[in-house]
Amino acid sequence: MRVALVQFDVRDDESAPGRRLRITDLARAQQGADLVVLPELWTSGGFAYSRWAADAEPVDGPTAA
């Protein structure tokens, strides 16, 4: 099994759709990996607590898709 660990800068000023697009490109670049591991809180913008409610999405939302 090949595992890729992807670390990146989570920018609090970045929109959720923009971040999802950027990280999707990074994950797809890990060709041959069976598992791509991303940092916790990447979907919510790290510690941008004020945006968590606005950026929340259902389990089957755009990030899971």
Round to whole Å and give the CA distance between 24 and 52: 20
Q: What is the DSSP string of 3-64?
A: EEE------TTS-HHHHHHHHHHHHHTSTT-SEEE--TTTTTTTT-GGGHHHH---TTSTTT
Round to whole Å and give the CA distance between 55 and 19: 11
pLDDT tens digit sequence for 13-58: 788 888 889 999 999 999 999 999 998 878 877 777 888 888 888 9
pTM over 0.75: no
